[in-house]
Amino acid sequence: MSTTLLLAEREQASRAFLERHLRRDGFELVGDGARPDIVLAADEAEVDRWRGEAPVIVLGHAEADHLDRVRAFRRGCDDYVARPFHYEELVERIRAVLRRAAPAPDERLAAGPVEIDLATRVVRVARTPVALSQKEYALLVRLASEPRRVFTKDQLLRDVWGYQLKGRTRTLDSHASRLRRKLRAVDPATAYVENVWGVGYRLLGLHP
């Protein structure tokens, strides 16, 4: 799967050069409407736009000094490359930022369109962030660990809430209902948090 890159370069000759060589090196260039894996920004203003969504490398102006670099890093950029730069070095800096930004394999959980970053506790459905409460998140993580498995209510109450005794299903049912509603608000075509009558819940149902 190719790495998506948004190139916010305004100078036409530089942009054409970067587009040609980045594509040759396997990067997929995307437009403003996409959520890229990484952004090459023409100035530090782009950092604010993409903070928390994608790592940003600022391509600094030729006349930039150390204060410009400091301001860019304080705004949250992941790297700063001063002009003029060597293309080969830029590519290695892109790859280094991507390595730092990508969670280790055991820190990401995927189940259908659902992606869970366990390190940051960020949940996305079809690449759209979804805000969950603490218990909704814990319930989702448990269900996503085996998304087609039907977990009994007693299992979920024990694993998520720590209840050792049977009962208290109203707590589980209300959280499952809210979780289903939030996931399906983003992706209504998928059957999320299916209630298997008389047994329990599974994350990915058989029918939308």
Q: Average pLDDT, stretch 1-20?
A: 86
- The CATH architecture to which 3-101 belongs is 3-Layer(aba) Sandwich (3.40)
CA angle 5, 11, 16 (to 5 degrees): 55
Give residue 73's pLDDT band: very low, low, confident or very high (50, 70, 90).
confident
pLDDT score of 180: 95
> Would you say the pTM of this structure is higher than 0.75?
no
The overall average pLDDT reported for the chain is: 86
| CB proximity list for 25: less than 8 A, separation 6 or greater | 91
- Helix ranges (H only) for 1-131 are 12-24, 45-50, 66-75, 87-101
Q: Is the peptide bond before 208 cis (omega within 30 degrees of 0)?
A: no
pLDDT score of 163: 65
Nearest to 176 by CA among 81, 166, 205: 205
Question: What's the fold here for domain 106-204?
Answer: Arc Repressor Mutant, subunit A (1.10.10)
Please state the φ and ψ torsions of residue 115, each to the nearest 5 degrees: -125, 130
Q: Average pLDDT, stretch 194-203?
A: 92
Please state the φ and ψ torsions of residue 172, each to the nearest 5 degrees: -65, -45
DSSP β-ladder status, 114-117 and 108-111 = antiparallel
Domain boundaries, the chain: 3-101, 106-204
Using one digit for the tens of pLDDT, what is the confidence trace for 161-177?
A: 876 555 567 889 999 99
Fold equal for 3-101 and 106-204:
no
Using one digit for the tens of pLDDT, what is the confidence trace for 116-161?
A: 998 888 999 988 999 999 889 999 999 999 899 999 988 888 788 8
